[in-house]
C-alpha cells in the first residue's frame, strides 16, 4: 500500500496543487522557524549587550572595602574578576591649576564585558582599549585638558602621587547614563591608589568587584553571595539597556511576530485550498479503488500516509529555509552587533515543525478525510455531486487552529485579536458584499457587450464559490496590506525619531549667567540646539503625606531618591499628556507633572500630594498631570516638571542638547576653554550606533515583508487554481463552439479582475481596522489613516488576481479544446 501512496504522490505532483501545498508548508515552517530563531538569537545578543552596561555579568558595590575572600570564592567558580574604585578628588597641575574630578581606578582585567575607549588627543578619533592606563599613567576626560591646560605627556598630581597624562578618556561601558557624577573623569590604575594616599576610612568612595563567566557559574556564585551581603553592600543586576535601541527592537520584534503569525494564517489558507482542490480531483480515484474493495479506512490510511510523507519532507525543507533566513538576517547585522549572538537552540525549529503538523492536521486533513466518504458510484456516474457537507466544520477547526497557533507564537492576545478582527470583518462583510455585488453585476451585465455578458454570467453562475474566493483573496491581500502599513509607519517613525540632525551632545551645568552667551555662540557657529531647560536637584521625601523609606538597599520602587526636575509653562516638546491637565501659564499653585513610569513606580496618581526637599527647603506639591516621554529622542527629558513660579527662588543650572557634525568636533575644545564649568556629554557614538542598528532592523523587516509577500502570492495562486478546472472546461466548450481567443481571455480577465476588485476593497477596509488595533494597542504608536491605501489595495487586487487568473487558464486557448475536454 505504501508503494501505491508514493506512486500517487509522484503522479499528483504534476497536478499542481501538491506543489502549492508543499510550498505553503515549507514557507510557513521557514518563516516561523526563521523569525523565531532570529528573535531568540537577537534576544541572547541583547542580553549580553546589556551586561556590557555593567562591564561584567555581576557587580558587587559598597562604600567600604569588600571582602577579598569573595574574590577567592569567585575564582573557585572559574569566574573572571576585576576591581574598580571611584572617588572624587582634586587634580593639580604645577600646584596652581586644579579641578575637581571623578577618579576611577581600574584593575588590569577591567572591563570584563564591553570595552573602554580613549583617544590620543582631547575629542580626537575614538580608539578601543585592550586595558586601562598603566601604572603611573592617567587618562583625562577631554574637558580636563582645557580646564587644566595640559597636553598628552604632561604631569598631573592626585593626592601625593604624580602621573603622566597618557590619553584622553572617552567612554567606559559602565559609566552609566546619569550625567551627575562628581565631575570630569580621570582613569588610573587600581594599583596606584595607595601611593596617592587620598582614600582614607570615611572617604566618599565606591568599591566594586566585577565578575564574569558562564551563566550557571554566575548563578551559583550569586546564590552563594546573597546571604553574605551586609548593610551597604549591594549586588547589581542588569538594568535596562539603552532605551533607544531597546524600544526600536521591541517594536521590530512585535512586527516580526506579527509577520510570523500572518505567515501561519496565509500558509494555513494556502494549504487548505490546495488540499481541498487535491481532494476534489481525487474523488474519482477514490471511487475506483472503493469499487475494487477499498474501505474508507484503507482510503484514509492511503491519503494519511501520503500527507504525512509530504509533511515530513516539507518540514525538513522548511527548517532549512528558516535556518537560511535567520542566517541571512544575521549576515545583515554581523558588523553592527557588539557581541556574537549565541545559538538559537532547537526550539525555533520545533515551533516550525509544530506549525507544519498543525497546518497539515487542521487544514489539509479535513478535506482529505472526506475522500474516505466518497461514493464508489462515481465510477458509473461522473456527474455525482461531491461530499461537501462538513466544509463549515473544517472552517471552524481551521480558525481555531490559526488562533491558537498565532497566540502560541506571538504570546500576545492583543496582536492575535487584531489580526482576527480584521479576518472576521473580511469574512463577514465579504460574503454579504460579494453576494450582493455579484447579483447586482448581472443586472448591469445583461445589457453590456458580449465579453462582459460572458464574464458576468460566469461570476453569477458560481456565486457562492466566487464569494468564498473573494473572501480568500481579500484575506490574503488584507494581511499583506497590514504588514506593509505597519512596516511603513514603523520605519517612518524610526527615521523621524532619529533624523540625521538629531541632537548628539548634551550640555549640562550651565550657570544662568552663561545661558545667553552660549546661545549666542551656538548660533554664531550655526549649531542648532534644543531649548535651554532649567534644572534643579532635589529629593523626593513623601507620598500622600507618608514618609518614604530612606534606605539605599532598594534600587527600584518607592524610596527617597535624588532627582532632577525642571520648570516650564508649556508642555515640553515630544511629551504627551496621559492624565490630568497642563497648568495655566503663570500659575502660582504648587503643582507638579510626572513622567508615566516614575508615577507608576511611586504609586502616584493625579491629585496626590508629594513632598520634596530642595536644598534644605521642604516643598509640597499636588500631581497635576502625568506625561509620556520619548526617551530615545535625545532631547532633555525630565521625570518632574513644576510651574516656573514655584521654583523661581531656588538656584538652578541649565541644560540643552545639540547636534554636532563629526567634522566639527574641534568646536568642543574651544567651547570647553571658554566655558570651563559647563559639562559636555558626547552621545554621538551612541546615536550613530542606534541609527545603524535601526537601519539593519529596517532591512530585516523589508526582507520579512518579501517572504510574506511570497506566502500571500501562494494563497492567491491556490485560490485561482481552485476555480481553474471549471472555468477551463467552460472555456473549452466555448472555444469548441468557435469563440475567438480574445473573447475568452477577455471574459476570464474581467471575471477575475472583478473578483480581485471586490477582494481589494474588502481587504482595504479590514486592513484599516487591523492596523488601527495593532498600532494603538500593540505597537503603542499613533494611528494615522492612510488614504493611499485605498487605490493601491483595490487596484492591485484587480490587477494581480486578473493577471493570475488569465495566466492560470491560458492553456485553454493554447491547446485544442478537444484535448482539454478529454482531460477533464
Q: Which of 61, 220, 298, 542 binds another protein (CB under 8 A)?
A: 298
Q: Which of 381, 396, 524, 586 binds another protein (CB under 8 A)?
A: 381
Q: Is 819 in the site for another protein (CB under 8 A)?
A: no
**Per-residue burial over 94-128, b = 16 or more CB atoms within 10 Å of its CB, e = otherwise:** eeeeebebbbbbbbebbbbbbebbbbeebbbeeee
Q: Is 289 in the site for another protein (CB under 8 A)?
A: yes
Site for another protein in 249-288 (CB under 8 A): 285, 288
Q: Is 822 in the site for another protein (CB under 8 A)?
A: no
Q: Is 2 in the site for another protein (CB under 8 A)?
A: no
| Residue keyed to cell 471586490 | 758
Q: Is 11 in the site for another protein (CB under 8 A)?
A: yes
Decide whether 3 or 68 has the Cβ nearer to another protein. 3
**How many angstroms separate the CA atoms of 277 and 291, rounded?**
22
Q: Is 464 in the site for another protein (CB under 8 A)?
A: no
The stretch near another protein (CB under 8 A) out of 377-385, 414-422, 578-586, 685-693 is 377-385
Site for another protein in 346-375 (CB under 8 A): 375
Give the H/E segment covering residue 85: strand 80-93
Q: Is 305 in the site for another protein (CB under 8 A)?
A: no
Which grid coordinates belong to 476?
A: 490574503
Q: Contact at 8 Å (CB) between 154 and 122?
A: no
Decide whether 4 or 555 has the Cβ nearer to another protein. 4
Minimum distance, C-beta of residue 448 to another protein, in the bound complex (Å): 31
Q: Is 386 in the site for another protein (CB under 8 A)?
A: no
Decide whether 8 or 777 has the Cβ nearer to another protein. 8
Decide whether 8 or 328 has the Cβ nearer to another protein. 8
Decide whether 247 or 375 has the Cβ nearer to another protein. 375
- 540: phi then psi, degrees, rounded to nearest 5: -85, 130
Decide whether 13 or 807 has the Cβ nearer to another protein. 13
**How many angstroms separate the CA atoms of 109 and 131, rounded?**
7
Q: Is 461 in the site for another protein (CB under 8 A)?
A: no
Taking the CA atoms of residue 410, residue 245, residue 704 and residue 29 in that order, the dihedral angle to the nearest 10 degrees is -40
Q: Is 292 in the site for another protein (CB under 8 A)?
A: yes
For β-strands 617-628 and 591-595, DSSP reports them as parallel
Q: Contact at 8 Å (CB) between 284 and 378?
A: yes
- Which residues of 319-451 form beta strands (DSSP E)? none
Which grid coordinates belong to 141?
A: 576626560
Q: Is 824 in the site for another protein (CB under 8 A)?
A: no
- From the DSSP assignment, how many helices (H) and strands (E) are in the chain? 24, 22
Q: Is 320 in the site for another protein (CB under 8 A)?
A: no
Decide whether 284 or 780 has the Cβ nearer to another protein. 284
Decide whether 159 or 304 has the Cβ nearer to another protein. 304
Decide whether 288 or 699 has the Cβ nearer to another protein. 288
Q: DSSP alpha helices (H): ranges in 177-295?
A: 193-196, 215-225, 243-281, 283-291
Q: Is 815 in the site for another protein (CB under 8 A)?
A: no
The stretch near another protein (CB under 8 A) out of 10-18, 254-262, 396-404, 500-508 is 10-18
**How many angstroms separate the CA atoms of 20 and 717, rounded?**
8
Return the SS3 of 409: helix
Minimum distance, C-beta of residue 375 to another protein, in the bound complex (Å): 8
The stretch near another protein (CB under 8 A) out of 7-15, 346-354, 394-402, 750-758 is 7-15
Closest CA to 730 of 823, 821, 816: 821
Q: Is 223 in the site for another protein (CB under 8 A)?
A: no
Minimum distance, C-beta of residue 432 to another protein, in the bound complex (Å): 24
CA distances from 119 to 53, 132, 187, 345, 362 (A): 21, 12, 13, 40, 62
55 burial level (CB within 10 Å; 0-12, 13-18, 19+): buried
Q: Contact at 8 Å (CB) between 118 and 106?
A: no
Q: Is 560 in the site for another protein (CB under 8 A)?
A: no
Minimum distance, C-beta of residue 360 to another protein, in the bound complex (Å): 21
**How many angstroms separate the CA atoms of 510 and 521, rounded?**
13
CA distances from 259 to 181, 208, 773, 775 (A): 44, 44, 15, 14
Q: Which of 293, 343, 663, 787 binds another protein (CB under 8 A)?
A: 293
Sign of dihedral through CA atoms 108, 114, 120, 122? Answer: negative
Q: Is 297 in the site for another protein (CB under 8 A)?
A: yes
Q: Which of 309, 379, 435, 521 binds another protein (CB under 8 A)?
A: 379
Minimum distance, C-beta of residue 366 to another protein, in the bound complex (Å): 19
Hey, which residues does 324 pair with through a beta bridge? none
Cβ contacts of 283 within 8 Å, gap of 6 or more: 371, 374, 378, 386
Cβ contacts of 434 within 8 Å, gap of 6 or more: 466, 467, 470, 471, 758, 762
Q: Is 818 in the site for another protein (CB under 8 A)?
A: no
Decide whether 284 or 492 has the Cβ nearer to another protein. 284
How many residues at the interface with another protein, by CB under 8 A? 26
Hey, which residues does 189 pair with through a beta bridge? 106
Q: Is 377 in the site for another protein (CB under 8 A)?
A: yes
Q: Is 4 in the site for another protein (CB under 8 A)?
A: yes
Q: Is 296 in the site for another protein (CB under 8 A)?
A: yes
Q: Is 291 in the site for another protein (CB under 8 A)?
A: yes
Q: Which of 125, 127, 380, 391 binds another protein (CB under 8 A)?
A: 380
Q: Is 821 in the site for another protein (CB under 8 A)?
A: no
Q: Is 8 in the site for another protein (CB under 8 A)?
A: yes
**How many angstroms separate the CA atoms of 366 and 278, rounded?**
12
Q: Contact at 8 Å (CB) between 636 and 658?
A: no
The stretch near another protein (CB under 8 A) out of 151-159, 250-258, 378-386, 785-793 is 378-386
Minimum distance, C-beta of residue 8 to another protein, in the bound complex (Å): 5
Q: Is 94 in the site for another protein (CB under 8 A)?
A: no
Decide whether 298 or 796 has the Cβ nearer to another protein. 298
Residues of the shown chain interacting with another protein in the complex, contacts defined by CB under 8 A = 1, 3-4, 7-8, 10-12, 285, 288-298, 375-377, 379-381
Amino acid at each position: 500500500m505504501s508503494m501505491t501512496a508514493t506512486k500517487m504522490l509522484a503522479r499528483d505532483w504534476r497536478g499542481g496543487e501538491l506543489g502549492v501545498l508543499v510550498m505553503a508548508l515549507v514557507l510557513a515552517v521557514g518563516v516561523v522557524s526563521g523569525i523565531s530563531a532570529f528573535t531568540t538569537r537577537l534576544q541572547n545578543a541583547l542580553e549580553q549587550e546589556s551586561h556590557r552596561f555593567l562591564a561584567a555579568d555581576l557587580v558587587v558595590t559598597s562604600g567600604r572595602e569588600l571582602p577579598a575572600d569573595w574574590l577567592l570564592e569567585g575564582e573557585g567558580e572559574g569566574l573572571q574578576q576585576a576591581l574598580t574604585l571611584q572617588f572624587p578628588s582634586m587634580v593639580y597641575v604645577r600646584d596652581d591649576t586644579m579641578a575637581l574630578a571623578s577618579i576611577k581606578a581600574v584593575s588590569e582585567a577591567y572591563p570584563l564585558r564591553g570595552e573602554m575607549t580613549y583617544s590620543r588627543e582631547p575629542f580626537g578619533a575614538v580608539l578601543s582599549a585592550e586595558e586601562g592606563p598603566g601604572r603611573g599613567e592617567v587618562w583625562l576626560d577631554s574637558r580636563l585638558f582645557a580646564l587644566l591646560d595640559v597636553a598628552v605627556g604632561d604631569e598631573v598630581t592626585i593626592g601625593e602621587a604624580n602621573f603622566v597624562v597618557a590619553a584622553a578618556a572617552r567612554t567606559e561601558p559602565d559609566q552609566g547614563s546619569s550625567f551627575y557624577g562628581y565631575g570630569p573623569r580621570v582613569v588610573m590604575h587600581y594599583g596606584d591608589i595607595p601611593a596617592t594616599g587620598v582614600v582614607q576610612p570615611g572617604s566618599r568612595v565606591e568599591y566594586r568587584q566585577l565578575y564574569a563567566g558562564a551563566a550557571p557559574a554566575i548563578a551559583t556564585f550569586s546564590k552563594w553571595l546573597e546571604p553574605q551581603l551586609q548593610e551597604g553592600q549591594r549586588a547589581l543586576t542588569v538594568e535596562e539597556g539603552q532605551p533607544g535601541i531597546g524600544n526600536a527592537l521591541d517594536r521590530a520584534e512585535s512586527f516580526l511576530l506579527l509577520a510570523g503569525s500572518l505567515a501561519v494564517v496565509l500558509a494555513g489558507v494556502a494549504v487548505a485550498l490546495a488540499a481541498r482542490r487535491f481532494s476534489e480531483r481525487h474523488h474519482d480515484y477514490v471511487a475506483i479503488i472503493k469499487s475494487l474493495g477499498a474501505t474508507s479506512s484503507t482510503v484514509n490510511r492511503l491519503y494519511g500516509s501520503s500527507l504525512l510523507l509530504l509533511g515530513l519532507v516539507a518540514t525538513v525543507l522548511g527548517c532549512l529555509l528558516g535556518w537560511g533566513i535567520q542566517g541571512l538576517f544575521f549576515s545583515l547585522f554581523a558588523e553592527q552587533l557588539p557581541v556574537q549572538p549565541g545559538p538559537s537552540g532547537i526550539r525555533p525549529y520545533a515551533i516550525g515543525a509544530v506549525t507544519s503538523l498543525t497546518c497539515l492536521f487542521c487544514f489539509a486533513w479535513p478535506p482529505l478525510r472526506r475522500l474516505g466518504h466518497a461514493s464508489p458510484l462515481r465510477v458509473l456516474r461522473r456527474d455525482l455531486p461531491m461530499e461537501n457537507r462538513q466544509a463549515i466544520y473544517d472552517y471552524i477547526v481551521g480558525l481555531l487552529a490559526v488562533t491558537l497557533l498565532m497566540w502560541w507564537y506571538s504570546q500576545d492576545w492583543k496582536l492575535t485579536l487584531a489580526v482576527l478582527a480584521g479576518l472576521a470583518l473580511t469574512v463577514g462583510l465579504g460574503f454579504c458584499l460579494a453576494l450582493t455585488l455579484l447579483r447586482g453585476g448581472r443586472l448591469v451585465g445583461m445589457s453590456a457587450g458580449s465579453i462582459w455578458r460572458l464574464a458576468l454570467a460566469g461570476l453569477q453562475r458560481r456565486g457562492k464559490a466566487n464569494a468564498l474566493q473573494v473572501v480568500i483573496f481579500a484575506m490574503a491581500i488584507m494581511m499583506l496590506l497590514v504588514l506593509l502599513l505597519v512596516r511603513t509607519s514603523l520605519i517612518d517613525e524610526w527615521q523621524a525619531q532619529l533624523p540625521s540632525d538629531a541632537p548628539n551632545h548634551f550640555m549640562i551645568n550651565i550657570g544662568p549667567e552663561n545661558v545667553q552667551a552660549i546661545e549666542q555662540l551656538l548660533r554664531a557657529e550655526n549649531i542648532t540646539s534644543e531649548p535651554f531647560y532649567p534644572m534643579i536637584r532635589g529629593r523626593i521625601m513623601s507620598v500622600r503625606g507618608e514618609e518614604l523609606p530612606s534606605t539605599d538597599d532598594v534600587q527600584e520602587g518607592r524610596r527617597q531618591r535624588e532627582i532632577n526636575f525642571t520648570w516650564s509653562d508649556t508642555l515640553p516638546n515630544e511629551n504627551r499628556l496621559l492624565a490630568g491637565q497642563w497648568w495655566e501659564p503663570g500659575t502660582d499653585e504648587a503643582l507638579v507633572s510626572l513622567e508615566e513610569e516614575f508615577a507608576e513606580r511611586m504609586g502616584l496618581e493625579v491629585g496626590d500630594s508629594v513632598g520634596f526637599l530642595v536644598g534644605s527647603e521642604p516643598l509640597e506639591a499636588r500631581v497635576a498631570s502625568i506625561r509620556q516621554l520619548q526617551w530615545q529622542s535625545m532631547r532633555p527629558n525630565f521625570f518632574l516638571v513644576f510651574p516656573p513660579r514655584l521654583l523661581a527662588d531656588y538656584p538652578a543650572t541649565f541644560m540643552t542638547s545639540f547636534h554636532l557634525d563629526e567634522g566639527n568636533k574641534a568646536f568642543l575644545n574651544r567651547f570647553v576653554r571658554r566655558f570651563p564649568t559647563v559639562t559636555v556629554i558626547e552621545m554621538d557614538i551612541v546615536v550613530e550606533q542606534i541609527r545603524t542598528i535601526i537601519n539593519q532592523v529596517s532591512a530585516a523587516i523589508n526582507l520579512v515583508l518579501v517572504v510574506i509577500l511570497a506566502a500571500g502570492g501562494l494563497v492567491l495562486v491556490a485560490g485561482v487554481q481552485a476555480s481553474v478546472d471549471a472555468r477551463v472546461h467552460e472555456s473549452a466548450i466555448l472555444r469548441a463552439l468557435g469563440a475567438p481567443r480574445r473573447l475568452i481571455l477577455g471574459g476570464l480577465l474581467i471575471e477575475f479582475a472583478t473578483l480581485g476588485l471586490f477582494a481589494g476593497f474588502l481587504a482595504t477596509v479590514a486592513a484599516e481596522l487591523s492596523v488601527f488595533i495593532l498600532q494603538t494597542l500593540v505597537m503603542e504608536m499613533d494611528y494615522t489613516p492612510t488614504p493611499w491605501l485605498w487605490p493601491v489595495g483595490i487596484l492591485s487586487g484587480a490587477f494581480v488576481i486578473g493577471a493570475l487568473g488569465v495566466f492560470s487558464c491560458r492553456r485553454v486557448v493554447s491547446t485544442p479544446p478537444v484535448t482539454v475536454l478529454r482531460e477533464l
